[in-house]
Amino acid sequence: MPHTSTLRILLLSAAALALGMTGCGQSAPPAAAPEQTAQAPVQDDAAAQAAAAAQAAEEAKAAELAAREKELAEREAALKQKEVEAELARRDADASAAAAGRQAAAARQAAAKKASAARPATSTAAAVPKVVEPAAPIIVPAGTQLAIELVAPVSTKTNAVGDSVEARLASDLMIGDRRAAQAGAAVHGSITQIISGSKKIGGTPTLGVTFDSLVAANGASMSINAPFTQVGKSETGKDTAKIVGGAAAGAIIGHQVSHKNGAVVGGLLGGAAGTAAAKVTGGEVTLAAGQVVTVATQSSFEVRP
């Protein structure tokens, strides 16, 4: 201990001093020896306290240093632990990414194999195209009724045989559940018979039309044979009366022309006058624009889809 060493040094110093004084023939004063003996323990205690304080300071300093070193070591250990954990997490993430990449690659390979396996079947199907059966044509049988609307009027008084007649379908032409022609499709015909009551003496006014073409649902013009005849009221009796009346008037006119042979001339003029009267007073047949007539086909025809 430091204070023990100091005490020993002090004692040795006192002994050496006493021996020196004895050698010089001088003896220590009797009264001085007890004082010196009393002061030595005091000095030893002070030195011991000082040494103890110094030692305590050194120990405290050493303890503080040890505490700091321990704290530093703990911090370093914590940092190292965090680094280890981060490294482990990074490795786990890399491992997960690698596993996901392997799974994706395996899925791509499986899809490629599936596509390559399906490709020959597709090629085979392409090599042998499916045969699509064409739709059967629509057969319109003879006797099929058509509702036809006239576009322009026709009359026994104003028209002649051979004149064109323009019309259109008033309703769809259906064969079962299939449409052969739709409403509004163009229909063409011509006048085939004219008997005019105002132009011919006797007989019955008659208007005959034959419809010969129809625009089908596929846009093609189909040949048809659908005749139509409209008969008016007969005025034969009235015509005879008019002719007789005209002959009598003609005889009178004939006498005014020539007294010598007026009867002959009057008879001829009277006949002409009676004929003229019949022409201007007989009946007529007229079909107005927009009038719908019903006709029946005389022969069958087919419409291709």
Q: What is the mean pLDDT of residues 127-135?
A: 72
Per the CB < 8 A criterion, the answer to whether 148 and 187 are in contact is yes
Query: Tokens for 82?
Result: 């965090």
**Domain spans of the chain, in order of start:** 2-85, 145-234+284-305, 236-281
| Partner residues linked to 178 by β-bridges | 175
Choose the weakest-confidence range: 28-32, 98-102, 180-184, 207-211.
Answer: 28-32
Query: Tokens for 303?
Result: 């419409």
Query: Is 253 a residue whose pLDDT tops 50?
Result: no
Per the CB < 8 A criterion, the answer to whether 186 and 168 are in contact is yes
Surface-to-core class of residue 15, CB atoms within 10 Å of its CB (0-12 exposed, 13-18 middle, 19+ buried): exposed
DSSP code of residue 150: E
Surface-to-core class of residue 85, CB atoms within 10 Å of its CB (0-12 exposed, 13-18 middle, 19+ buried): exposed
Which has more confidence, 245 or 182?
A: 182
Per the CB < 8 A criterion, the answer to whether 285 and 205 are in contact is yes
Per the CB < 8 A criterion, the answer to whether 167 and 211 are in contact is yes
Give the highest mean pLDDT range of 3-17, 27-41, 166-180, 229-243.
166-180
Segment (H or E) for 267: helix 262-281
Which has more confidence, 204 or 149?
A: 149
Tell me the pLDDT of the chain averaged across its residues.
Answer: 76
Distance between CA atoms of residues 257 and 269, nearest Å: 10
pLDDT in tens, 106-117: 888 888 888 777
Surface-to-core class of residue 169, CB atoms within 10 Å of its CB (0-12 exposed, 13-18 middle, 19+ buried): buried
The residue ranges of DSSP E strands in the chain, in sequence order, are: 138-140, 145-150, 154-155, 164-169, 173-175, 178-181, 186-195, 206-215, 221-231, 286-287, 292-296, 301-303
Which has more confidence, 181 or 50?
A: 181
The model's pTM:
0.46
Which has more confidence, 229 or 199?
A: 229
Query: Is 209 a residue whose pLDDT tops 90?
Result: yes
CATH number for domain 145-234+284-305, candidates 2.40.128.260, 1.20.58.190, 3.40.50.300, 1.10.3720.10: 2.40.128.260
Q: Nearest 5°: phi and psi at 10?
A: -65, -40
pLDDT at 39: 65
pLDDT in tens, 267-291: 333 333 333 333 334 589 999 999 9
pLDDT at 143: 95
pLDDT in tens, 12-65: 666 666 655 555 554 444 454 555 555 667 777 888 888 889 999 999 989 999
Query: Is 216 a residue whose pLDDT tops 80?
Result: yes
pLDDT at 200: 66
Of the chain, the percentage scoring pLDDT greater than 90 comes to 37
At residue 99 the predicted structure's pLDDT band, cuts being 50, 70 and 90, is confident
